[in-house]
């Protein structure tokens, strides 16, 4: 929590003025019972209408000044809280962007979404209430007790017993409820995760007619969340009735003690009303304090959860070397080299890649094939350093990828992921992700190469074509071709196509491969695929089997010396086509 206080530095003035104006409002409020006492003891007793009106005018003045102070305090508190949460949310988002795939896999997307939304909102609300009430409520409580002693010492002794007893109840309940709120937020993570899975996989759910099962699963998760919230809510709600009982018993004691003193003339009726009003003020403020503590408890838990994410150090940090695209041509070194590479995912018991060793020259096309889970994607994910090797080296232009700055390394690489991801906006905005100043001519050239020009022209909107979120207004094959075009617009030194043509028909796939080979002569291309036809004409073919490199070479060489490759070919092609 302390680490997050740095975001209040820009709003130090507002953080000071807000509680000060609240305390000023509270000061005026403490004079109200004394004015009422004078109205009763002097104005009403003597039937002095003029005096009553004058003192009533003072009450109105106190109310107006108090309202002005309250509004001013509210303005400063809101400005500080909203500014705080804005800066925090921006930095949290920026920090999440620095996390590697490893940290995001471990923490989980649903958890990060909850931190960015619900948790930050809870902290903002808690901070706003804290700035307004944290000093005001104790000030009113202590001020009311002090003012009561100026009225009558004997009756005011009730306050010395009541206030510590109320504090014991309030802070005791807070100590119990804070850990429980942490469990509630954890369960909220689970509900968010279930919701996200259902929304992203809604088509699969309908296809398998799993609506009732998923609804039941959601109800179970949501039921646990409700149970947790109800349980902690029951504990928190004990605060109001207990405090009401204590306060009302204290008021009874004040009236009983004051009644005797009024009958003997030691205490006036107005002073008795003032004492009751002071006790009522304490009741109101302690209820506010109770609600504040609940909000603060939630805010502290959420702040700690946010701090836990902020404390995660990215496992992948860029080096200092800034390479250039001309280095590969200037030096006679392979464009990409794997040197005895071992790789293991976080918390996995076994390596996903073992002793991977190969060299790729500039301009070559590399095909990677193998069964599901053989490690094909793991190999290409090491090149842009989405993950780091456990042992060995991955070299780009003769330099270890860990020595590059992340910007310099990823500027060399264009990636077409397995899942086609497009963003809401125009076609041109999506195409310019890799090169912001790309011309229309460059974009159309990339669309031609990616075999996407035809259907874009058919839409009749050109580069102004509106793309919905995740490209939902396009077919799977159209999305894949646009993601390939987006990578080509960047004109990278290394192009990675991770099974990115799986939704294309064989004719379009063949045309795409031919166009890429013709139009990217100086580009090193990695094609990950399960289709033999897609990679058979590659300069080098890597055959993966259970995380190991089962074979390397051209199509004809592998047919003669790699059993795994031969089995894959025979499972997809006829004997005549294999040759």
Please list, in sequence order, all residues whose beta carbon lies within 8 angstroms of the beta carbon of residue 151, skipping any fewer than 6 positions away.
Answer: 37, 267, 271, 274, 275, 278
Alpha-carbon span 171 to 76, nearest angstrom: 28
User: 3-state class of 554 per DSSP?
Assistant: coil
Which of 80-89, 108-117, 125-134, 372-381 is predicted least confidently? 108-117
User: Residue 325 pLDDT more than 60?
Assistant: no
Rounded mean pLDDT, 424-439: 89
Q: How many Cβ atoms sit within 10 Å of the Cβ of residue 80? A: 26
Helix, strand, coil content of the chain in percent (nearest 5): 65, 10, 20
What is the pLDDT at residue 327? 47
Bigger pLDDT: 156 vs 345: 345
pLDDT digits (tens, 9 = 90+) for 149-172: 888 788 778 888 887 887 788 778
Rounded mean pLDDT, 5-18: 89
What is the pLDDT at residue 402? 92
Alpha-carbon span 508 to 481, nearest angstrom: 10
**Contact 540/562 with Cβ under 8 angstroms?**
no
pLDDT band at 292 (very low <50, low <70, confident <90, very high): confident
DSSP codes joined into one string, 274-332? HHHHHHHHHHHHHHHHHHHHHHHHHHHHHHHHHHHHHTPPPS----SB---TTHHHHS-
- Residues of the chain with pLDDT > 70: what percent? 97
For the chain, give the mean pLDDT.
86
List 466's β-bridge partners, or say none: 426
Alpha-carbon span 140 to 289, nearest angstrom: 11
Tokens describing residue 96: 């999440």
Strand 494-498, strand 353-360: pairing? unpaired
pLDDT digits (tens, 9 = 90+) for 41-70: 888 888 888 888 999 999 999 999 999 999
Bigger pLDDT: 76 vs 324: 76
pLDDT band at 330 (very low <50, low <70, confident <90, very high): very low
Alpha-carbon span 373 to 377, nearest angstrom: 9
DSSP codes joined into one string, 376-438? HHHHHHTTTTSS--SEEEEEETTEEGGGB-HHHHHHHEEEE-SS----SEEHHHHHTTS-TT-
Q: Where do we find the tokens 């909107």?
A: 461
Which of 232-241, 390-399, 564-573 is predicted least confidently? 232-241
Please list, in sequence order, all residues whose beta carbon lies within 8 angstroms of the beta carbon of residue 180, skipping any fewer than 6 positions away.
Answer: 228, 231, 232, 235
What is the pLDDT at residue 206? 84
User: Residue 8 pLDDT more than 90?
Assistant: no
What is the pLDDT at residue 82? 94
Rounded mean pLDDT, 356-374: 91
Tokens describing residue 268: 């006036």
What is the pLDDT at residue 343? 94
Rounded mean pLDDT, 281-301: 79
pLDDT digits (tens, 9 = 90+) for 14-48: 999 999 999 899 888 888 888 888 888 888 888 88
pLDDT band at 401 (very low <50, low <70, confident <90, very high): very high
**Contact 205/198 with Cβ under 8 angstroms?**
yes
pLDDT digits (tens, 9 = 90+) for 452-480: 888 888 888 888 999 988 788 888 888 88
Q: How many Cβ atoms sit within 10 Å of the Cβ of residue 256? A: 11
Backbone φ, ψ for residue 279 (5° rounding)? -65, -35
Helix axes 440-449, 506-519, angle to 10 degrees: 130
pLDDT band at 578 (very low <50, low <70, confident <90, very high): low
**Contact 508/455 with Cβ under 8 angstroms?**
no
What is the pLDDT at residue 1? 62
User: Residue 328 pLDDT more than 50?
Assistant: no
Backbone φ, ψ for residue 497 (5° rounding)? -115, 100
Alpha-carbon span 241 to 314, nearest angstrom: 48
- Counting every residue, how long is the chain? 579
Which of 82-96, 180-194, 389-403, 425-439 is predicted least confidently? 180-194
What is the pLDDT at residue 65? 93
User: Residue 354 pLDDT more than 90?
Assistant: yes
What is the pLDDT at residue 577? 65
What is the pLDDT at residue 404? 92
Taking CA atoms, 358 is separated from 379, 395, 404, 540, in Å, by 11, 10, 20, 10
Tokens describing residue 134: 């944290």
Strand 425-426, strand 494-498: pairing? unpaired
For residue 120, which of 75, 86, 97, 76 has the smallest C-alpha distance? 86
Alpha-carbon span 499 to 152, nearest angstrom: 85
User: Residue 329 pLDDT more than 50?
Assistant: no
């Amino acid at each position: 929590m302390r680490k997050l206080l740095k975001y209040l530095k820009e709003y130090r003035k507002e953080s000071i003025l807000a509680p000060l104006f609240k305390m000023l409002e509270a000061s005026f409020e403490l004079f109200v019972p004394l004015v009422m006492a004078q109205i009763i003891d002097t104005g009403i007793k003597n039937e002095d209408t003029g005096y009553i009106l004058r003192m009533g005018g003072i009450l109105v003045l106190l109310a107006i000044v108090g309202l002005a102070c309250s509004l001013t305090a509210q303005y400063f508190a809101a400005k500080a809280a909203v500014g705080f949460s804005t800066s925090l949310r921006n930095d949290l988002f920026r920090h999440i962007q620095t996390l590697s795939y490893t940290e995001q896999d471990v923490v989980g997307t649903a958890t990060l979404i909850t931190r960015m939304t619900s948790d930050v909102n809870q902290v903002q609300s808690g901070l706003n209430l804290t700035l307004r009430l944290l000093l005001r409520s104790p000030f009113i409580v202590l001020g009311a007790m002090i003012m009561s002693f100026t009225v009558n010492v004997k009756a005011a002794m009730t306050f010395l017993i009541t206030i510590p007893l109320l504090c014991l109840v309030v802070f005791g309940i807070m100590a119990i409820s804070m850990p429980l709120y942490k469990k509630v937020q954890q369960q909220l993570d689970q509900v968010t995760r279930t919701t996200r899975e259902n929304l992203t996989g809604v088509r699969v759910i309908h296809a398998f007619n799993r609506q009732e099962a998923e609804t039941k699963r959601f109800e179970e998760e949501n039921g646990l969340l409700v149970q947790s919230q109800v349980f902690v809510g029951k504990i928190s709600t004990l605060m109001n009735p207990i405090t009401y009982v204590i306060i009302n018993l204290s008021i009874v004691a004040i009236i009983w003690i004051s009644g005797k003193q009024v009958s003997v003339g030691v205490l006036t009726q107005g002073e008795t009303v003032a004492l009751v009003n002071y006790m009522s003020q304490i009741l109101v403020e302690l209820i506010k304090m109770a609600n504040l503590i609940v909000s603060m408890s939630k805010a502290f838990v959420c702040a700690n959860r946010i701090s836990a994410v902020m404390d995660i150090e990215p496992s992948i940090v860029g080096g200092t070397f800034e390479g250039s695209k001309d280095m590969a041509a200037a030096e006679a070194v392979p464009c990409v080299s794997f040197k005895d590479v071992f790789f293991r995912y976080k918390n996995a018991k076994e390596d996903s890649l073992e002793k991977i060793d190969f060299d790729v020259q500039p301009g070559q096309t590399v095909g990677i094939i193998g069964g599901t889970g053989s490690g094909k994607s793991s190999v290409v994910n090491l090149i842009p350093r989405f993950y780091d090797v456990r042992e060995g080296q991955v070299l780009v232009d003769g330099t270890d990828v860990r020595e590059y700055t992340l910007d310099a390394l990823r500027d060399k690489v264009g990636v077409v992921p397995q899942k086609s991801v497009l963003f809401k906006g125009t076609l041109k905005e999506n195409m310019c992700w890799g090169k912001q100043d790309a011309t229309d001519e460059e974009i159309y050239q990339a669309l031609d190469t990616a075999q996407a020009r035809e259907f874009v022209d058919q839409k009749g909107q050109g580069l102004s074509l509106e793309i919905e979120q995740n490209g939902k207004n396009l077919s799977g094959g159209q999305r894949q071709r646009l993601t390939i075009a987006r990578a080509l617009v960047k004109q990278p030194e290394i192009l990675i196509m991770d099974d990115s043509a799986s939704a294309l028909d064989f004719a379009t796939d063949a045309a795409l491969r031919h166009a890429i080979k013709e139009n990217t002569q100086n580009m090193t291309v990695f094609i990950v695929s399960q289709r033999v036809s897609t990679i058979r004409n590659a300069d080098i073919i890597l055959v993966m089997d259970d995380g190991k490199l089962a074979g390397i070479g051209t199509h004809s060489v592998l047919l003669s010396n790699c059993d795994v490759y031969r089995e894959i070919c025979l499972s997809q092609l006829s004997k005549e086509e294999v040759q």
